[in-house]
Amino acid sequence: MKEPKIAQKAPYVMDMEPGKYAWCSCGLSKNQPFCDGSHKGTGFTPVIVDIEEPKKVAWCGCKHTQNPPFCDGSHTKL
């Protein structure tokens, strides 16, 4: 797999609690925007993020962000 699958052309905006999260970078997870292990054999790996305080996060949904795992608006150019 050379390019990630576009899960959606918009961010996943979520209120997050403190903890470690594994963002799906391949776009194949059935648990978007988080990894469920579907990347195995693709060459992609999840991006681990440690959220230290409650906050709203815009997780990238198109998987083409230049600032993984966060949305940077790249979906508007797809």
3-state SS string for the chain: CCCCCCCCCCCEEEEECCEEEEECCCCCCCCCCECCCCCCCCCCCCEEEEECCCEEEEECCCCCCCCCCECCCHHHHC
- Whether 5 is covered by a domain: the verdict is no
pLDDT at 56: 98
- Structure pTM? 0.95
pLDDT in tens, 11-52: 999 999 999 999 999 999 999 999 999 999 999 999 999 999
Residue 22 is part of which domain span? 12-77
- Whether 2 is covered by a domain: the verdict is no
- Whether 27 is covered by a domain: the verdict is yes
Number of structural domains the chain divides into: 1
- Whether 4 is covered by a domain: the verdict is no
